[in-house]
């Protein structure tokens, strides 16, 4: 059976589980599972390319995901072995061997996100540092935008990126308070109140 026949069968009313598996396997939808973290439950989405997003589960993450990525979500378990890697990524604040789906970000943002993964646990770097590492020393604001729009916060550790004056700044995964919690858990002591 080719893909056209499979899709035609789905349109005719194939069983919901088969339809969900085909949508997930072909990239028409992403899977979502809930994971625990130091800042609460996280909705972690994934597809055959890797983890595609992380958001607070308390938020309306399904609408957020559909608006941002144009795909729907299906409650599913991650592929074999990924659950352990996701938990490790959440704990370490780094993807390690976990595959990431960065197809939805520009080449510059992808580079900045990958540079952010090199920041050691318990340390921070200013936006300007990431810009220099990327060979674009004048792009600190663009780096800030990349971090603000990081689809995989915590696993891609944008919480370790701060303003040049050392202040923590905003955080896309629940605000500055969550950023402070994550950094404190890693042993970083902020001078901010």
Indicate whether this model's pTM tops 0.75: yes
- Where the chain has pLDDT below 50, the residues are 1-3, 6-16, 18
Question: d(Cα 157, Cα 94) in Å, to the nearest integer?
Answer: 6
Q: For residue 42, which phi and psi values (nearest 5 degrees)?
A: -115, 140
- pLDDT for 101 equals 95
Nearest 5 degrees, angle CA 168-CA 177-CA 145? 50
DSSP β-bridge partners for residue 100: 51
Alpha-carbon distances, residue 164 vs 137, 185, 192 (angstroms): 13, 22, 14
Which residues are known catalytic residues?
Answer: 158
Q: What is the CATH number of domain 107-185?
A: 1.10.10.10
* Predicted pLDDT of residue 12: 46
pLDDT in tens, 42-82: 999 999 999 999 999 977 888 888 888 888 888 889 988 99
Question: Is-contact 134 126, C-beta < 8 A?
Answer: no
Domain boundaries, the chain: 3-92, 107-185
CATH code for the structural domain at 3-92: 3.30.160
Separation CA 183–CA 177 (nearest Å):
10
56, 173 in Cβ contact below 8 A?
Answer: yes
In this predicted structure, what is the pLDDT of residue 20?
56
Which is nearest to 45 in space by CA: 103, 5, 2?
A: 103
In 36-159 the beta strands, taken as DSSP E runs, fall at 42-47, 50-56, 72-75, 125-126
């Amino acid at each position: 059976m080719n893909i056209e026949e499979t899709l035609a069968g789905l349109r005719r009313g194939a069983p919901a589980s088969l339809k969900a598996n085909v949508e997930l396997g072909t990239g028409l939808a992403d899977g979502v599972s809930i994971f625990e973290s130091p800042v609460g439950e996280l909705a972690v989405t994934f597809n055959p390319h890797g983890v595609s997003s992380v958001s607070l589960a308390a938020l309306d993450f399904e609408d957020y995901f559909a608006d941002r990525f144009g795909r729907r979500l299906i409650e599913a378990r991650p592929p074999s072995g990924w659950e352990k890697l996701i938990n490790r990524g959440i704990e370490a604040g780094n993807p390690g061997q976990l595959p990431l789906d960065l197809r939805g970000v520009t080449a510059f943002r992808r580079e900045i996100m990958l540079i952010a993964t090199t920041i050691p646990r318990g340390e921070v770097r200013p936006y300007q540092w990431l810009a220099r590492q990327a060979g674009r020393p004048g792009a600190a604001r663009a780096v800030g935008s990349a971090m603000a729009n990081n689809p995989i916060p915590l696993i891609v550790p944008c919480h370790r990126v701060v303003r040049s004056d050392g202040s923590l700044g905003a955080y896309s995964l629940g605000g500055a308070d969550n950023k402070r919690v994550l950094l404190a858990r890693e042993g970083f002591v902020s001078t901010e109140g």
